[in-house]
Amino acid sequence: MPRTLTRSHALQQRAEKLFPGGVNSPVRAFPAVGGEPPFLVRAEGAYLWDEDGNRYVDYFGSWGPMILGHAFPPVVEAIQQAASRSASFGASTATEGDLAELVVAAYPSIEKLRFVSSGTEATMSAIRLARAFTGRKYIIKFEGCYHGHADGLLVKAGSGVATFGIPGSAGVPEEAAHFTLALPFNDVGALEAAFAAHPIACIIVEPVVGNAGCIPPAEGYLQALRELTQKHGALLILDEVMTGFRVSLGGAQELYGIHPDMTTLGKILGGGLPCGAFGGRAEIMDQLAPLGPVYQAGTLSGNPLAMAAGIAMIGYLQQHRAEVYAKLEKLSARLVDGVAGTAGAAGVPMTANRVGAMFTWFFTGEPVTDFAGAARSDTKRFGSFHRALLEAGIWLPPSQFEAAFLSTAHTESDIQQTIEAARRFFASE
């Protein structure tokens, strides 16, 4: 029986009157895949329930944070207890140090850090600091990478910007993006040319790209970024908002053995509450106010609810590290290879990219190693695939240019159900 979406439809009508496009973040809308987004009322473990009582297996995990599944009991309890002591003080609490110690233990490159409330704030602040520290203006980012929506970073950005085919963003003065160089990912030659042409303050990179769909770094590429930045006196910022605690407890820098100057974190860090952080070498971080001349601040930074959720989340990941990441690897491999196998058997061109529990099925037979490669995907076919799976109770991110995620709450049976739904879709095409 097809799903009923009566209540979601009514709520969508109201939302479109109140919010541009009916949403409070463009990536939640469904124009790239067609159909209306269901409105959610509750989630537990790997499942989402909408207003009309339909259940979905969740493969976007609130865009990353829900690595232990939704409403994970230790996180829920920590938030409840913290809320009873006050939602915000605007003064220091021990919990900030407690979470910071967990972060520093997992990320040896972070000597000092500062908490903020989103990934956007983290990357924006890290760039300001890198410019102040080096006394240079130019920054390098990569096509298809998304680092939040600060003006200077909305250049050839991924995620919703790529999904909706927006080249940059209206409202960003040319001057604000003038010092941003956007280069192809996985291309060392392009970097050497940029360093030769401009004094570069920093490179900011998603070490495993997630915002053009999942694109792993080529062998030696991150090492080349490290060597080139060192050679030219520029800083290397790894934007691990998505990869942090996801591809490994210590992020992509642990997985690939890279020691950046600065790191940005978000998503999993706050256990689902608004939270981000940027950190790195102490001599760089000490340029921040009140010690140094670089201004950065936040009324809700280090919010006690976010800290409590983060401590419960990161504490659990640390204590159960081996089993968590082994399970994620095993289940993700089975899922990603299983679905790719059904496409292969049906003669549908597909390239599956995966790093741990972060993955994308691209509808192209060519390898996807950069944004141009991702853009060769058949996005119309991805839209049909998305709609068919949603109808079968499986919710993928509603864009070819967004990574999907798996959690420890997913089961073998969820995965079998997903592979079967994919098989049915490819057979029906």
Whether 146 is catalytic: yes
Residue 123 C-beta: closest distance to ligand PMP, Å: 5
Q: Is 125 in the site for ligand PMP (CB under 6 A)?
A: no
Q: Which of 239, 261, 370, 414 binds ligand PMP (CB under 6 A)?
A: 239
- Closest separation between CB of residue 164 and ligand PMP, Å? 15
User: According to CB under 6 A, which one of 119, 213, 217, 244 is a site residue for ligand PMP?
Assistant: 119
The structure tokens listed for 275 are 């939270």
Q: Are strands 138-142 and 180-183 parallel, antiparallel or unpaired?
A: parallel
First to last CA, the chain: 19
Which one among 8, 211, 248, 407 touches ligand PMP, defined by CB under 6 A?
211
- Report the site for ligand PMP in 249-288 (rule: CB under 6 A): 266, 276
Per-residue interface string for the shown chain with ligand PMP, residues 316-355, x marking contact by CB under 6 A: ----------------------------------------
CB of 291 to ligand PMP, least distance (A): 26
**Pick the catalytic residue: 221, 256, 261, 267?**
267
- Select 148 or 217, whichever has its Cβ closest to ligand PMP: 148
Helix 304-319 with 73-84: angle, nearest 10 deg: 150
Minimum distance, C-beta of residue 145 to ligand PMP, in the bound complex (Å): 7
Which residues in the 281-320 window bind ligand PMP by CB under 6 A? Answer: none
- Output the residue with the shortest Cβ distance to ligand PMP: 119
Q: Point out which span in 53-61, 91-99, 142-150, 308-316 binds ligand PMP (CB under 6 A).
A: 142-150
| Residue 239 is among the residues annotated as catalytic for this protein | yes
Q: Closer to ligand PMP at the Cβ: 207 or 421? A: 207
Does 120 sit near ligand PMP (CB under 6 A)? yes
Name which of 11 and 153 has its Cβ closer to ligand PMP.
Answer: 153
Tell me how far, at minimum, the Cβ of 276 lies from ligand PMP, in Å.
Answer: 6
Select 210 or 217, whichever has its Cβ closest to ligand PMP: 210
- Is 221 designated active site? no
The reply to whether 204 sits near ligand PMP by the rule CB under 6 A is no
C-beta of 29: minimal distance to ligand PMP in Å?
15
- Kindly name the residue from 50, 58, 239, 370 that is annotated as catalytic: 239
Q: Which stretch binds ligand PMP (CB under 6 A): 84-92, 140-148, 305-313, 404-412?
A: 140-148
Can you tell me the distance from the alpha carbon of 418 to that of 359, in angstroms, rounded to the nearest whole number? Answer: 14
| 425 contacts 389 by C-beta, under 8 angstroms | yes
Supply the angle between the helices 321-345 and 412-428 in degrees, to the nearest 10: 20
- Of 263 and 332, nearer to ligand PMP (C-beta) is 263
Please, which of residues 44-83 interact with ligand PMP by CB under 6 A?
63
Report how many residues bind ligand PMP under the rule CB under 6 A.
17
123 binds ligand PMP (CB under 6 A): yes
Taking CB under 6 A as the criterion, the residue among 12, 54, 95, 118 binding ligand PMP is 118
- Residue 206 or residue 261: which is nearer to ligand PMP going by CB? 206
Cα distances from 328 to residues 85, 223, 325, in angstroms, run 35, 26, 5
What is the 3-class SS of the chain, one letter each residue? CCCCCHHHHHHHHHHHHHCHHHCCCHHHCCCCCCCCCCCEEEEEECEEEECCCCEEEECCHHHCCCCCCECCHHHHHHHHHHHHCCCCCCCCCHHHHHHHHHHHHHCCCCCEEEEECCHHHHHHHHHHHHHHHHCCCEEEEECCCCCCCCHHHCCCCCCHHHHCCCCCCCCCCHHHHCCEEEECCCCHHHHHHHHHHCCEEEEEECCCECECECECCCCCHHHHHHHHHHHHCCEEEEECCCCECCCECCHHHHHHCCCCCEEEECHHHHCCCCCEEEEECHHHHCCECCCCCECCCCCCCCCHHHHHHHHHHHHHHHHCHHHHHHHHHHHHHHHHHHHHHHHHHCCCCCEEEEECCEEEEECCCCCCCCHHHHHCCCHHHHHHHHHHHHHCCEECCCCCCCCEECCCCCCHHHHHHHHHHHHHHHHHC
For ligand PMP, give the closer residue by CB, 61 or 421: 61
Stretch that binds ligand PMP, among 97-105, 175-183, 205-213, 281-289 (CB under 6 A): 205-213
Q: Which of 210, 268, 245 has the alpha carbon at shortest distance from 402? A: 210
Give contact residues for ligand PMP (rule: CB under 6 A): 63, 118-120, 123, 146-148, 159, 206, 210-211, 239, 241-242, 266, 276
Active site residues: 146, 239, 267
